[in-house]
């Protein structure tokens, strides 16, 4: 069995990588909204925080009623219980990665988890 998985991602509105990469500790999706579009629902989570990386374009997230402007290069972390919805600006599409992980589950990171 291989110790890695590789996948090539096509340009789609939403691509979930859970199954394609056999993920066991995170959910990752790549999302694209055309100019003026939005995610059609408000949602929160039971246990998972979300980390968003804005790859291109601009838009906003409405988090617990507060509007947060987003542009390429921004990173955003949202707690599980926060209600959120995403919007592309009227003038620009937005493309972003969403990483979903269980809140407070990180037990080590690069320097403390590495084995040399």
Asked whether residue 2 carries a pLDDT value surpassing 90, the answer given is no
Taking alpha carbons only, the member of 26, 32, 27, 29 closest to residue 12 is 32
Q: What is the mean pLDDT of residues 8-32?
A: 91
What percent of the chain is predicted at pLDDT more than 90?
Answer: 76
Which helix (H) or strand (E) segment holds residue 98: the answer is strand 94-102
Confidence at 109, pLDDT banded by 50, 70, 90: confident
Query: Structure pTM?
Result: 0.89
pLDDT at 112: 79
pLDDT at 106: 86
Cα(75)–Cα(68) distance, integer angstroms = 11
Q: What is the mean pLDDT of residues 19-32?
A: 93
All domains in the chain, ordered by first residue: 26-104 (2.60.120.10)
Residue 4 in tokens: 């890695």
Residues near 67 by Cβ (< 8 Å), separated by ≥ 6?
A: 60, 61
């Amino acid at each position: 069995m291989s110790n890695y998985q590789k996948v090539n991602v096509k340009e789609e509105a939403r691509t979930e990588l859970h199954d394609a990469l056999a993920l066991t500790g995170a959910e990752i999706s790549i999302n694209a909204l055309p100019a003026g579009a939005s995610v059609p629902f408000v949602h929160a989570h039971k246990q998972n925080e979300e980390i968003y990386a804005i790859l291109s374009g601009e838009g906003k997230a409405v988090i617990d009623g507060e509007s947060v402007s987003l542009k390429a290069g921004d990173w955003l972390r949202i707690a599980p219980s926060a209600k959120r919805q995403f919007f592309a600006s009227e003038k620009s599409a937005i493309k972003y990665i969403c990483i979903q992980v269980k809140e407070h589950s990180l037990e080590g990171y690069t320097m403390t988890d590495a084995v040399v």
